[in-house]
Amino acid sequence: MSHLQNLPGAISEIVASSADDGILTLTDRYGLMAAILDEFLEQEEEEAINRLLRRVVRGRIKVTNQISSDYLSKQMTRSH
């Protein structure tokens, strides 16, 4: 079985953007799923994912089915 390499910095980008936007998009969730299934996930990346998931459970980050937070913010701007 071949090893899939996560993009460097992908986990930190997902964590940072979801903290900034307060949103976890569908694309973010697929990225997290791929990272979690990676047998070679660094411990600090695993801890970052766990912190992110705790924020979701506490309601600090909203889970959305939108593909990107950019798309969502444009839709919100149009509705106002």
Q: What is the pLDDT along the chain (80 residues), one digit of tens a residue?
A: 445 556 668 899 999 999 999 999 999 999 999 888 887 888 999 999 999 999 999 999 999 998 876 655 545 555 55
pLDDT at 41: 86
Q: With respect to residue 4, please indicate whether it lies within any of the assigned structural domains.
A: no
Q: With respect to residue 1, please indicate whether it lies within any of the assigned structural domains.
A: no
Parent domain of 35:
10-79
How many CB atoms lie under 10 A from the CB of residue 35?
21
Our count of domains for the chain comes to: 1
pLDDT at 55: 97
Whether residue 23 contacts residue 62, with contact meaning beta carbons closer than 8 Å, is answered with: yes
Q: With respect to residue 31, please indicate whether it lies within any of the assigned structural domains.
A: yes
Rounded to two decimals, what is the model's pTM?
0.74
Q: With respect to residue 39, please indicate whether it lies within any of the assigned structural domains.
A: yes
How many CB atoms lie under 10 A from the CB of residue 33?
10
